[in-house]
Amino acid sequence: MAATEGMNDKVRLFFEALSDQNRVRIIDVLLESESNVRKICAHFSMKQPSVSHHLAVLKKGGLVKTRKSGTKIFYSVNKKYVTSIMTYYFARFGFQVKEIEE
């Protein structure tokens, strides 16, 4: 039961991270290529603190991962984690994910 509760908490954080249209738009940008905050800001009319906040929520939900290069932090979609959460979630509804491309 505790394992299921832990996984349910991960699923909750995952979907909470996607509950804001700005975060969904950020994910769309990151699906194109890895980016730093400055480059992400260039796609939107949001200021850097707002984008950083959204990225922190996405990271907490497991949707993005980071890579540091010098003084810059680059963000990308955490496809492995997204796949694991979606596979688990679909299985809870009786669906089976047969194949997911990386």
CATH code of 2-92, in short, is: 1.10.10.10
DSSP 28-73: HHHHH--EEHHHHHTTSS--HHHHHHHHHHHHHTTSEEEEEETTEE
What residue ranges do the domains of the chain occupy? 2-92
Query: Is the per-residue pLDDT at 70 higher than 60?
Result: yes
Query: Is the per-residue pLDDT at 69 higher than 60?
Result: yes
pLDDT digits (tens, 9 = 90+) for 24-60: 999 999 999 999 999 999 999 999 999 999 999 999 9
Look up the pTM and report it. 0.86
pLDDT digits (tens, 9 = 90+) for 89-102: 888 888 876 655 44
